[in-house]
Amino acid sequence: MSAHDIKLEVCVDSIKSAFAAEEGGAARIELCAALQEGGLTPTTGTLKTLKELPFTLPIHCMLRPRRGTDFVYSEEEMQAVQTDMDLLRTHGADGFVFGALTPERTIDVDKCRRVMERSCGLPVTFHRAFDLTDPKLMHENVQLLKELGFKRVLSSGFRATAAEGVDSLAQLIAKHHRDIIIMPGAGIKVANLEEILTFSRCQEFHASALDTASEDYSAPTTTRMECDVTMGKQDIDPYYGTNVYVVRKMVAIASAMSCR
């Protein structure tokens, strides 16, 4: 592995998690709402608050107006995306994360181009909608995204987790690393990080670094009220946020791998 800093982007959906990512040594955050839904567009209030507090990391904001794995957006949904972009950019967004597909699971060039034009030069990442496209066309699709102006592609290598898709990730990184950043993400943990970094040879990776039992941190971030009322299906499970110690472990592993 070449001597370069391997950067960790942490996806967060709360102010508390954002500060945990910063304290642990992350290079950047992807700010979302509702990570349990895969990450939705964050509120401008959350972004504005972070920008007004002594928070130093770059903040890239998710642009995803609803849950669902189709990423096929109506004109009305695109209007909402573009309005959110304007509001988030006004309140200090340092970049955006977006992906749109056609019903045939190809990259929706028109909608992507509209987002790129609206970004006003801020960097945009194409998210894991990429993993729903045809793996046989992965190199052509990365080239298309580069031509559209995307700076990064977040991918699990067409599998459920980056660990499972590391072969495809390695191929993409080997071919395109000089032109665009291929960023492994999905299911990356302390336990599998070194293997993913070794085989993918990535420059950046993406993780939530949550407080979960699999990382030996089992305390939920919020307290569950003992009552019969829930605000939705996900309230049945405890809410876990980013854990500073998990971030710190990941950064230490990446730093050690950078020197190899």
Residue ranges for the chain with pLDDT beneath 50:
1-3, 213, 218
Residue 213: the pLDDT is 42
Residue 3: the pLDDT is 47
Rounded to a whole number, what is the largest CA-CA distance in the chain?
55
Q: What is the DSSP code string of 206-241? A: EE--B--GGGT----SSPPPSSS--SSGGGGSPP--
Q: How far apart are CA 125 and CA 89, in angstroms?
A: 15
Q: How far apart are CA 130 and CA 105, in angstroms?
A: 9
Q: How far apart are CA 193 and CA 184, in angstroms?
A: 10
> Any idea of the CA torsion for 219, 221, 226, 229, to the nearest 10 degrees?
-140
Compute CA distances 138 → 142, 143, 153, 169, 203, whole Å. 6, 9, 11, 10, 19
- What 8-state DSSP symbol labels residue 181? E
217: alpha, beta or left? (left if phi > 0; alpha if psi -120 to 50): beta
Residue 51: the pLDDT is 97
Q: What is the pLDDT of residues 139-163, one digit of tens each?
A: 999 999 999 999 999 999 999 999 9
Quote the pTM value: 0.90
CB-CB neighbours of 190 under 10 Å = 19
Residue 212: the pLDDT is 63
* Structural class in CATH, domain 7-258: alpha beta
Beta-strand ranges (E) seen in the chain are 7-12, 28-31, 59-62, 95-98, 124-126, 152-155, 181-184, 204-207
39: alpha, beta or left? (left if phi > 0; alpha if psi -120 to 50): left
Residue 211: the pLDDT is 72
Residue 227: the pLDDT is 54
